[in-house]
Each structure stands twice: as structure tokens, then as C-alpha cells.
């Protein structure tokens, strides 16, 4: 029972909020095509490509997807976003004075076999 109720509610929702209800007009499409004198492609071109008023205008307006209803319209407006990129201020990097002087170190280790690694 709940299954059928949920199917019924789903079908009502789909038919009310989409253009799926136009499918219910297919028998009217078939009947109108049977009364039409010409090929299927001519029928579709005449009725769906810039159709002009003629003797059976009222019947033509009942065809599916001629005047699909506007069933759900969503309008959203995003706020205008502006970005301002500021150039960073160039501040001089302070130079640190070293606490040692080059003259305080000796070069005697260069003549020894075991030496510290060199940066090349």
C-alpha cells in the first residue's frame, strides 16, 4: 500500500514540476497526424517550425510541446564580487651581522686527510 502511494505521489510531483505532462498529449499528436495529408516530416516541420495560424489553429495548440507550460522557474542572482589585489610593500630585509669574522678561522684543516664536506 505504501509502495503504491509513494509511486502515485512521485508521479504527481513529476507531472506537476516538469514537462513530462506533455507526454500525456501523445494520443492527440497521433490523431492529428492521421488527419494530416502528407508525410511525417512535413507534419513535424509544419507544426513545430514557426507554425502560422491556419484553420485548425486550436487543435494545433493542443499538440505536445507546442506550448509547454512553465512549471518551475528558479532565479538566482549572485552578489557582485570584486577583488582588489594590492601590491605588497617592499621592505628591506635587515642584514644580520655575523658574530664571527673570517679571519678568526684557520685554514689548517685543508691540508689534513679528514676534512669537512665541501659545498660545490
Burial 64-89 (b: 16+ CB within 10 A, else e): beeeeeeeeeeeeeeeeeeeeeeeee
Is 90 domain-assigned? Answer: no
Is 45 domain-assigned? Answer: yes
pTM comes to 0.46
Is 37 domain-assigned? Answer: yes
The yes-or-no verdict on residue 3 having pLDDT over 70 is yes
Residue range 30-64, pLDDT digits in tens: 888 898 888 988 888 888 887 788 887 888 888 88
CB 24, CB 62: distance < 8 Å: no
Higher pLDDT, 23 or 115: 23
Confidence band for 88, pLDDT divided at 50, 70 and 90: confident
Is 86 domain-assigned? Answer: no
Is 109 domain-assigned? Answer: no
For 44, the domain range is: 24-68
In the chain, how many domains are there? Answer: 1
The stretch 56-79 carries a mean pLDDT of 77
Amino acid at each position: 500500500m505504501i509502495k503504491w502511494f509513494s509511486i502515485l505521489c512521485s508521479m504527481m510531483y513529476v507531472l506537476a514540476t516538469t514537462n513530462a505532462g506533455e507526454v500525456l498529449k501523445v494520443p492527440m499528436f497521433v490523431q492529428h497526424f492521421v488527419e494530416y495529408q502528407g508525410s511525417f516530416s512535413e507534419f513535424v516541420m509544419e507544426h513545430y517550425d514557426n507554425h502560422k495560424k491556419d484553420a485548425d489553429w486550436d487543435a494545433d495548440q493542443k499538440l505536445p510541446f507546442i506550448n509547454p507550460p512553465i512549471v518551475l522557474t528558479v532565479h538566482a542572482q549572485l552578489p557582485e564580487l570584486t577583488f582588489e589585489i594590492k601590491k605588497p610593500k617592499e621592505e628591506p630585509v635587515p642584514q644580520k651581522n655575523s658574530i664571527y669574522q673570517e679571519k678568526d678561522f684557520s685554514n689548517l684543516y685543508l691540508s689534513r686527510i679528514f676534512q669537512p664536506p665541501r659545498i660545490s
